A and B are shown apart, each in its own frame.
Chain A
Protein backbone atom coordinates (compact mmCIF):
# COMPACT_ATOMS: atom_id res chain seq x y z
CA UNK A 1 0.00 0.00 0.00
CA UNK A 2 1.62 3.27 1.08
CA UNK A 3 4.91 1.52 1.59
CA UNK A 4 7.35 4.39 0.81
CA UNK A 5 5.32 6.82 2.89
CA UNK A 6 5.15 4.34 5.74
CA UNK A 7 8.87 3.85 5.92
CA UNK A 8 9.38 7.59 5.68
CA UNK A 9 6.87 8.24 8.47
CA UNK A 10 8.49 5.53 10.49
CA UNK A 11 12.01 6.84 10.03
CA UNK A 12 10.82 10.39 10.71
CA UNK A 13 9.09 9.59 13.99
CA UNK A 14 11.92 7.33 14.95
CA UNK A 15 14.54 9.99 14.30
CA UNK A 16 12.53 12.58 16.23
CA UNK A 17 12.25 10.43 19.35
CA UNK A 18 15.89 9.43 19.03
CA UNK A 19 16.97 13.05 19.05
CA UNK A 20 14.88 13.72 22.16
CA UNK A 21 16.38 10.72 23.82
CA UNK A 22 19.90 11.59 22.76
CA UNK A 23 19.61 14.97 24.44
CA UNK A 24 18.18 13.47 27.59
CA UNK A 25 20.41 10.46 27.99
CA UNK A 26 23.73 10.91 26.30
CA UNK A 27 24.89 7.59 27.71
CA UNK A 28 21.89 5.51 26.66
CA UNK A 29 22.99 2.63 24.40
CA UNK A 30 21.75 2.92 20.82
CA UNK A 31 19.85 -0.36 21.07
CA UNK A 32 17.82 1.04 23.98
CA UNK A 33 17.10 4.29 22.13
CA UNK A 34 16.07 2.28 19.10
CA UNK A 35 13.63 -0.01 20.89
CA UNK A 36 12.14 2.75 23.02
CA UNK A 37 11.81 4.81 19.84
CA UNK A 38 9.97 1.91 18.23
CA UNK A 39 7.63 1.71 21.22
CA UNK A 40 6.89 5.40 20.84
CA UNK A 41 6.25 4.94 17.13
CA UNK A 42 3.74 2.27 18.13
CA UNK A 43 2.06 4.58 20.67
CA UNK A 44 1.85 7.56 18.33
CA UNK A 45 0.30 5.56 15.51
CA UNK A 46 -2.04 3.75 17.86
CA UNK A 47 -3.21 7.16 19.06
CA UNK A 48 -4.27 8.07 15.51
CA UNK A 49 -6.52 5.02 15.18
CA UNK A 50 -7.49 4.84 18.84
CA UNK A 51 -8.81 8.40 18.96
CA UNK A 52 -10.90 7.65 15.85
CA UNK A 53 -12.29 4.49 17.47
CA UNK A 54 -13.21 6.51 20.57
CA UNK A 55 -14.87 9.16 18.41
CA UNK A 56 -12.47 11.80 19.71
CA UNK A 57 -11.27 12.58 16.21
CA UNK A 58 -13.23 12.21 13.01
CA UNK A 59 -12.65 9.03 11.05
CA UNK A 60 -10.24 9.53 8.16
CA UNK A 61 -9.68 6.41 6.07
CA UNK A 62 -6.34 7.51 4.69
CA UNK A 63 -4.87 8.54 8.06
CA UNK A 64 -6.13 5.32 9.66
CA UNK A 65 -4.56 3.25 6.93
CA UNK A 66 -1.24 5.07 7.17
CA UNK A 67 -1.13 4.57 10.92
CA UNK A 68 -1.92 0.87 10.51
CA UNK A 69 0.79 0.61 7.85
CA UNK A 70 3.26 2.20 10.24
CA UNK A 71 2.38 -0.31 12.96
CA UNK A 72 2.96 -3.03 10.40
CA UNK A 73 6.27 -1.33 9.66
CA UNK A 74 7.29 -1.74 13.31
CA UNK A 75 6.23 -5.38 13.17
CA UNK A 76 8.62 -5.86 10.24
CA UNK A 77 11.65 -4.52 12.15
CA UNK A 78 13.96 -7.36 13.10
CA UNK A 79 14.12 -7.44 16.91
CA UNK A 80 17.14 -9.69 17.35
CA UNK A 81 19.72 -6.91 17.66
CA UNK A 82 17.69 -4.54 19.84
CA UNK A 83 17.73 -6.34 23.17
CA UNK A 84 21.38 -7.24 23.97
CA UNK A 85 21.91 -8.94 27.35
CA UNK A 86 23.95 -6.03 28.73
CA UNK A 87 20.92 -3.71 28.40
CA UNK A 88 18.45 -6.02 30.16
CA UNK A 89 17.55 -6.03 33.84
CA UNK A 90 19.44 -2.77 34.49
CA UNK A 91 18.22 0.31 36.38
CA UNK A 92 18.41 2.58 33.35
CA UNK A 93 15.52 1.18 31.31
CA UNK A 94 12.45 -1.00 31.85
CA UNK A 95 13.41 -4.13 29.88
CA UNK A 96 13.50 -7.15 32.21
CA UNK A 97 16.31 -9.70 32.29
CA UNK A 98 13.67 -12.29 31.46
CA UNK A 99 13.88 -11.20 27.80
CA UNK A 100 17.38 -12.70 27.65
CA UNK A 101 16.34 -15.85 29.50
CA UNK A 102 13.30 -16.47 27.31
CA UNK A 103 14.01 -15.05 23.87
CA UNK A 104 11.64 -17.50 22.18
CA UNK A 105 8.72 -16.42 24.38
CA UNK A 106 9.52 -12.75 23.81
CA UNK A 107 9.74 -13.17 20.02
CA UNK A 108 6.50 -15.18 20.02
CA UNK A 109 4.66 -12.12 21.35
CA UNK A 110 6.23 -10.05 18.58
CA UNK A 111 4.66 -12.58 16.16
CA UNK A 112 1.28 -11.98 17.83
CA UNK A 113 1.85 -8.24 17.46
CA UNK A 114 2.63 -8.80 13.77
CA UNK A 115 -0.62 -10.75 13.29
CA UNK A 116 -2.70 -8.17 15.17
CA UNK A 117 -1.14 -5.29 13.20
CA UNK A 118 -1.95 -7.14 9.97
CA UNK A 119 -5.60 -7.53 11.06
CA UNK A 120 -5.81 -3.82 11.81
CA UNK A 121 -4.21 -3.01 8.48
CA UNK A 122 -6.85 -5.14 6.76
CA UNK A 123 -9.80 -3.18 8.22
CA UNK A 124 -8.36 0.29 8.83
CA UNK A 125 -9.67 1.83 5.58
CA UNK A 126 -13.12 0.21 5.82
CA UNK A 127 -14.69 2.59 8.31
CA UNK A 128 -14.52 3.23 12.06
CA UNK A 129 -16.72 0.23 13.02
CA UNK A 130 -13.99 -2.42 12.80
CA UNK A 131 -11.30 -0.40 14.57
CA UNK A 132 -12.32 -1.15 18.16
CA UNK A 133 -12.09 -4.93 17.84
CA UNK A 134 -8.78 -4.81 15.95
CA UNK A 135 -7.31 -2.44 18.53
CA UNK A 136 -8.47 -4.76 21.29
CA UNK A 137 -6.46 -7.59 19.73
CA UNK A 138 -3.43 -5.36 19.36
CA UNK A 139 -3.81 -4.16 22.95
CA UNK A 140 -3.65 -7.75 24.20
CA UNK A 141 -0.16 -8.10 22.73
CA UNK A 142 1.11 -4.92 24.45
CA UNK A 143 -0.35 -6.10 27.76
CA UNK A 144 1.00 -9.65 27.38
CA UNK A 145 4.52 -8.45 26.67
CA UNK A 146 4.60 -5.60 29.20
CA UNK A 147 3.23 -7.93 31.89
CA UNK A 148 6.03 -10.42 31.46
CA UNK A 149 8.99 -8.49 30.09
CA UNK A 150 8.73 -4.90 31.30
CA UNK A 151 9.28 -3.47 34.79
CA UNK A 152 5.97 -2.13 36.11
CA UNK A 153 5.99 1.30 37.61
Chain B
Protein backbone atom coordinates (compact mmCIF):
# COMPACT_ATOMS: atom_id res chain seq x y z
CA UNK B 1 0.00 0.00 0.00
CA UNK B 2 2.73 2.38 1.02
CA UNK B 3 4.64 1.40 -2.07
CA UNK B 4 1.63 2.08 -4.23
CA UNK B 5 1.09 5.46 -2.65
CA UNK B 6 4.72 6.29 -3.19
CA UNK B 7 4.64 5.42 -6.84
CA UNK B 8 1.39 7.35 -7.29
CA UNK B 9 3.15 10.31 -5.72
CA UNK B 10 6.12 9.81 -8.01
CA UNK B 11 3.94 9.67 -11.07
CA UNK B 12 2.19 12.82 -10.01
CA UNK B 13 5.53 14.52 -9.42
CA UNK B 14 6.78 13.42 -12.82
CA UNK B 15 3.56 14.62 -14.43
CA UNK B 16 3.87 18.01 -12.78
CA UNK B 17 7.53 18.34 -13.66
CA UNK B 18 7.07 17.29 -17.29
CA UNK B 19 3.97 19.49 -17.51
CA UNK B 20 5.92 22.47 -16.30
CA UNK B 21 8.83 21.57 -18.54
CA UNK B 22 6.68 21.11 -21.63
CA UNK B 23 4.85 24.39 -21.09
CA UNK B 24 7.89 26.49 -20.19
CA UNK B 25 8.77 29.43 -22.44
CA UNK B 26 11.51 28.75 -24.99
CA UNK B 27 13.14 32.12 -25.75
CA UNK B 28 15.41 33.00 -28.67
CA UNK B 29 19.14 32.32 -28.15
CA UNK B 30 20.78 35.28 -26.42
CA UNK B 31 23.17 35.91 -29.35
CA UNK B 32 20.41 36.08 -32.01
CA UNK B 33 21.08 39.75 -32.70
CA UNK B 34 24.85 39.76 -32.22
CA UNK B 35 26.33 41.96 -34.95
CA UNK B 36 22.88 42.81 -36.39
CA UNK B 37 22.12 46.54 -36.65
CA UNK B 38 18.52 47.53 -37.41
CA UNK B 39 17.69 50.08 -40.12
CA UNK B 40 14.36 51.92 -39.85
CA UNK B 41 14.00 52.51 -43.60
CA UNK B 42 14.26 48.79 -44.34
CA UNK B 43 11.92 48.01 -41.44
CA UNK B 44 9.02 49.74 -43.14
CA UNK B 45 8.87 47.03 -45.82
CA UNK B 46 8.92 44.33 -43.14
CA UNK B 47 6.13 46.17 -41.31
CA UNK B 48 3.95 46.25 -44.43
CA UNK B 49 4.72 42.69 -45.50
CA UNK B 50 3.96 41.40 -41.99
CA UNK B 51 0.73 43.40 -41.74
CA UNK B 52 1.25 44.48 -38.11
CA UNK B 53 -0.96 47.53 -38.67
CA UNK B 54 -3.70 45.32 -40.10
CA UNK B 55 -4.41 44.07 -36.58
CA UNK B 56 -2.93 46.69 -34.26
CA UNK B 57 -4.25 49.95 -35.76
CA UNK B 58 -7.48 51.21 -34.19
CA UNK B 59 -10.67 49.82 -35.83
CA UNK B 60 -11.73 51.46 -39.13
CA UNK B 61 -8.61 53.53 -39.76
CA UNK B 62 -7.15 54.51 -43.13
CA UNK B 63 -4.00 56.16 -44.44
CA UNK B 64 -1.45 57.49 -41.95
CA UNK B 65 -3.78 56.83 -39.01
CA UNK B 66 -2.94 53.13 -39.54
CA UNK B 67 0.52 53.84 -38.16
CA UNK B 68 -0.95 54.56 -34.72
CA UNK B 69 -0.91 51.07 -33.21
CA UNK B 70 -3.48 51.82 -30.51
CA UNK B 71 -5.13 48.37 -30.66
CA UNK B 72 -8.82 47.69 -30.15
CA UNK B 73 -9.66 45.51 -33.18
CA UNK B 74 -11.54 42.37 -32.17
CA UNK B 75 -10.96 38.85 -33.51
CA UNK B 76 -13.75 36.36 -33.04
CA UNK B 77 -12.57 32.72 -32.95
CA UNK B 78 -14.09 29.49 -31.69
CA UNK B 79 -11.97 29.90 -28.55
CA UNK B 80 -13.38 33.33 -27.74
CA UNK B 81 -12.87 36.94 -28.81
CA UNK B 82 -9.40 38.44 -28.70
CA UNK B 83 -8.68 42.16 -28.68
CA UNK B 84 -5.44 43.47 -30.22
CA UNK B 85 -3.42 45.38 -27.61
CA UNK B 86 -1.78 48.80 -27.88
CA UNK B 87 1.74 48.08 -29.17
CA UNK B 88 2.75 51.66 -29.96
CA UNK B 89 6.02 53.00 -28.52
CA UNK B 90 4.43 54.55 -25.39
CA UNK B 91 3.81 53.70 -21.74
CA UNK B 92 0.40 52.27 -22.61
CA UNK B 93 2.06 50.19 -25.33
CA UNK B 94 5.51 48.61 -25.51
CA UNK B 95 7.57 51.77 -24.99
CA UNK B 96 9.98 50.33 -22.43
CA UNK B 97 10.81 47.13 -24.35
CA UNK B 98 14.20 46.01 -25.66
CA UNK B 99 14.83 44.46 -29.10
CA UNK B 100 15.09 41.10 -27.35
CA UNK B 101 11.68 41.56 -25.64
CA UNK B 102 10.21 42.51 -29.00
CA UNK B 103 11.75 39.58 -30.85
CA UNK B 104 10.71 37.05 -28.19
CA UNK B 105 7.14 38.36 -28.39
CA UNK B 106 7.02 38.41 -32.19
CA UNK B 107 8.91 35.18 -32.92
CA UNK B 108 8.39 33.03 -29.82
CA UNK B 109 5.10 34.34 -28.46
CA UNK B 110 6.66 35.08 -25.07
CA UNK B 111 5.93 38.23 -23.04
CA UNK B 112 8.72 39.97 -21.11
CA UNK B 113 7.30 38.41 -17.89
CA UNK B 114 7.53 34.94 -19.46
CA UNK B 115 3.79 34.47 -20.16
CA UNK B 116 2.72 32.88 -23.45
CA UNK B 117 0.77 34.87 -26.04
CA UNK B 118 -2.21 33.42 -27.84
CA UNK B 119 -1.54 32.32 -31.40
CA UNK B 120 -4.04 34.83 -32.88
CA UNK B 121 -0.88 36.94 -32.77
CA UNK B 122 0.74 35.07 -35.69
CA UNK B 123 4.15 34.53 -34.07
CA UNK B 124 4.18 30.95 -35.32
CA UNK B 125 4.67 32.42 -38.83
CA UNK B 126 6.92 35.30 -37.77
CA UNK B 127 9.14 32.68 -36.07
CA UNK B 128 10.52 32.07 -39.57
CA UNK B 129 11.63 35.70 -40.10
CA UNK B 130 15.33 36.62 -40.41
CA UNK B 131 16.93 38.36 -37.38
CA UNK B 132 17.92 41.23 -39.68
CA UNK B 133 14.27 41.81 -40.62
CA UNK B 134 13.20 41.80 -36.97
CA UNK B 135 15.97 44.25 -36.03
CA UNK B 136 14.94 46.52 -38.95
CA UNK B 137 11.31 46.28 -37.88
CA UNK B 138 12.20 47.27 -34.33
CA UNK B 139 14.20 50.26 -35.62
CA UNK B 140 11.17 51.30 -37.70
CA UNK B 141 8.93 50.82 -34.64
CA UNK B 142 10.78 53.65 -32.87
CA UNK B 143 9.60 56.05 -35.61
CA UNK B 144 5.90 55.24 -35.06
CA UNK B 145 3.58 57.66 -33.24
CA UNK B 146 2.69 56.84 -29.59
CA UNK B 147 -0.86 56.23 -28.37
CA UNK B 148 -2.03 56.30 -24.75
CA UNK B 149 -5.10 54.11 -25.37
CA UNK B 150 -5.44 51.36 -22.75
CA UNK B 151 -5.29 47.75 -24.00
CA UNK B 152 -8.59 45.94 -23.52
CA UNK B 153 -9.00 42.44 -22.00
CA UNK B 154 -9.80 39.42 -24.20
CA UNK B 155 -13.16 37.73 -23.86
CA UNK B 156 -12.33 34.04 -23.58
CA UNK B 157 -13.48 31.27 -21.25
CA UNK B 158 -11.74 28.50 -19.30
CA UNK B 159 -9.62 26.49 -20.14
CA UNK B 160 -8.37 28.72 -22.97
CA UNK B 161 -7.99 31.60 -20.53
CA UNK B 162 -5.04 29.74 -18.92
CA UNK B 163 -1.97 30.95 -20.82
CA UNK B 164 0.29 28.26 -19.40
CA UNK B 165 -1.38 25.59 -21.51
CA UNK B 166 -0.24 27.41 -24.63
CA UNK B 167 3.29 26.08 -24.09
CA UNK B 168 2.14 22.64 -25.23
CA UNK B 169 0.38 24.13 -28.21
CA UNK B 170 3.53 25.94 -29.23
CA UNK B 171 5.77 22.90 -28.84
CA UNK B 172 3.50 21.16 -31.30
CA UNK B 173 2.76 23.87 -33.85
CA UNK B 174 5.45 26.52 -34.01
CA UNK B 175 7.64 25.51 -36.98
CA UNK B 176 11.40 25.85 -37.02
CA UNK B 177 11.76 25.85 -40.80
CA UNK B 178 9.72 26.37 -43.92
CA UNK B 179 8.38 22.98 -44.71
CA UNK B 180 6.13 23.29 -47.66
CA UNK B 181 8.58 23.47 -50.52
CA UNK B 182 12.27 23.26 -51.40
CA UNK B 183 13.21 25.67 -54.12
CA UNK B 184 16.34 26.94 -55.79
CA UNK B 185 14.53 29.67 -57.73
CA UNK B 186 15.35 32.98 -56.00
CA UNK B 187 11.99 34.56 -56.95
CA UNK B 188 9.99 31.64 -55.57
CA UNK B 189 12.19 31.59 -52.46
CA UNK B 190 11.49 35.29 -51.88
CA UNK B 191 7.77 34.62 -52.37
CA UNK B 192 7.95 31.74 -49.92
CA UNK B 193 9.55 33.95 -47.31
CA UNK B 194 6.98 36.71 -47.85
CA UNK B 195 4.03 34.29 -47.70
CA UNK B 196 5.14 31.82 -45.02
CA UNK B 197 7.14 34.03 -42.65
CA UNK B 198 6.06 37.67 -42.93
CA UNK B 199 2.71 37.64 -44.74
CA UNK B 200 1.32 34.79 -42.59
CA UNK B 201 -1.09 34.02 -45.45
CA UNK B 202 -1.54 30.42 -44.27
CA UNK B 203 -3.05 31.63 -40.99
CA UNK B 204 -6.25 32.22 -42.96
CA UNK B 205 -5.86 30.15 -46.14
CA UNK B 206 -4.88 26.82 -44.49
CA UNK B 207 -7.40 24.78 -42.47
CA UNK B 208 -6.79 24.10 -38.76
CA UNK B 209 -7.12 21.00 -36.65
CA UNK B 210 -9.20 20.63 -33.49
CA UNK B 211 -6.57 22.38 -31.37
CA UNK B 212 -6.33 25.34 -33.70
CA UNK B 213 -2.96 24.38 -35.24
CA UNK B 214 -2.40 24.65 -39.00
CA UNK B 215 -2.97 21.43 -40.91
CA UNK B 216 0.23 21.48 -42.97
CA UNK B 217 -0.93 18.60 -45.17
CA UNK B 218 -3.59 20.87 -46.58
CA UNK B 219 -1.30 23.85 -47.09
CA UNK B 220 -3.22 26.80 -48.61
CA UNK B 221 -6.11 24.51 -49.47
CA UNK B 222 -8.71 27.00 -48.22
CA UNK B 223 -10.46 26.99 -44.86
CA UNK B 224 -13.64 27.87 -43.04
CA UNK B 225 -13.71 31.54 -42.07
CA UNK B 226 -12.82 31.94 -38.36
CA UNK B 227 -15.55 34.58 -38.12
CA UNK B 228 -18.00 31.73 -38.76
CA UNK B 229 -19.36 33.14 -42.03
CA UNK B 230 -18.41 31.53 -45.34
CA UNK B 231 -15.05 30.12 -46.42
CA UNK B 232 -11.62 31.46 -47.26
CA UNK B 233 -10.62 30.42 -50.79
CA UNK B 234 -7.82 27.96 -51.68
CA UNK B 235 -4.68 29.46 -53.25
CA UNK B 236 -3.13 26.30 -54.73
CA UNK B 237 -2.79 26.39 -58.55
CA UNK B 238 -5.32 23.57 -59.08
CA UNK B 239 -7.98 25.63 -57.27
CA UNK B 240 -7.03 29.23 -57.99
CA UNK B 241 -6.79 29.42 -61.74
CA UNK B 242 -5.65 33.04 -61.96
CA UNK B 243 -2.40 33.82 -63.80
CA UNK B 244 0.60 35.07 -61.82
CA UNK B 245 -0.14 38.53 -63.28
CA UNK B 246 -3.76 38.34 -62.05
CA UNK B 247 -2.60 37.47 -58.53
CA UNK B 248 0.00 40.23 -58.41
CA UNK B 249 -2.50 42.76 -59.69
CA UNK B 250 -5.18 41.63 -57.19
CA UNK B 251 -2.68 42.17 -54.38
CA UNK B 252 -1.92 45.65 -55.71
CA UNK B 253 -5.31 46.98 -56.79
CA UNK B 254 -7.79 44.85 -54.87
CA UNK B 255 -9.60 43.93 -58.10
CA UNK B 256 -10.22 40.30 -59.07
CA UNK B 257 -9.47 39.41 -62.73
CA UNK B 258 -13.16 39.93 -63.52
CA UNK B 259 -13.12 43.28 -61.74
CA UNK B 260 -15.09 42.70 -58.60
CA UNK B 261 -13.45 44.18 -55.51
CA UNK B 262 -11.83 41.92 -52.91
CA UNK B 263 -13.84 41.62 -49.72
CA UNK B 264 -13.79 40.46 -46.11
CA UNK B 265 -10.55 40.22 -44.17
CA UNK B 266 -8.54 40.16 -47.42
CA UNK B 267 -9.17 43.91 -47.82
CA UNK B 268 -6.91 44.64 -44.85
CA UNK B 269 -4.23 42.27 -46.18
CA UNK B 270 -4.24 44.02 -49.56
CA UNK B 271 -3.99 47.44 -47.87
CA UNK B 272 -0.59 46.29 -46.54
CA UNK B 273 0.69 44.14 -49.42
CA UNK B 274 -0.17 46.91 -51.92
CA UNK B 275 2.57 49.00 -50.27
CA UNK B 276 5.33 46.53 -51.25
CA UNK B 277 7.40 46.91 -54.44
CA UNK B 278 6.00 45.19 -57.56
CA UNK B 279 8.83 42.64 -57.49
CA UNK B 280 7.62 41.35 -54.11
CA UNK B 281 4.03 40.89 -55.30
CA UNK B 282 5.39 39.08 -58.38
CA UNK B 283 7.41 36.83 -56.05
CA UNK B 284 4.31 36.01 -53.98
CA UNK B 285 2.44 35.14 -57.17
CA UNK B 286 5.33 32.96 -58.41
CA UNK B 287 5.33 31.07 -55.10
CA UNK B 288 1.58 30.49 -55.18
CA UNK B 289 1.79 29.20 -58.77
CA UNK B 290 4.54 26.77 -57.66
CA UNK B 291 2.57 25.29 -54.74
CA UNK B 292 1.73 21.59 -54.87
CA UNK B 293 -1.96 21.02 -55.72
CA UNK B 294 -4.40 20.76 -52.82
CA UNK B 295 -5.95 17.75 -54.56
Contact = CB atoms under 8 A, between A and B. Distances in A.
Interface residues of A, number: 18
22 contacts: A42-B259, A43-B258, A43-B259, A46-B259, A50-B253, A50-B255, A50-B259, A56-B245, A135-B253, A139-B253, A139-B254, A139-B255, A139-B261, A142-B261, A143-B261, A146-B261, A146-B263, A147-B263, A147-B267, A152-B263, A153-B231, A153-B263
A15 interface: no
Majority SS of interface residues in chain B?
A: loop
B151 interface: no
Interface of B: 229-231, 245, 249, 253-255, 258-264, 267
A52 to B, nearest CB: 13
Task: Give the one of B230, B245, B249, B260 with max A CB within 10 A.
Answer: B260
Contacts of A127: none
Interface in A126-153: 135-136, 139, 142-143, 146-147, 150, 152-153
Contacts, number: 40
Interface string A55-66: 010000000000
A152 B230 contact: yes
A152 B254 contact: no
Interface of A: 42-44, 46-47, 50, 54, 56, 135-136, 139, 142-143, 146-147, 150, 152-153
B253 A152 contact: no
B230 A47 contact: no
Contacts of A47: 258-259
B185 to A, nearest CB: 24
A150 B263 CA distance: 9
B49 to A, nearest CB: 20
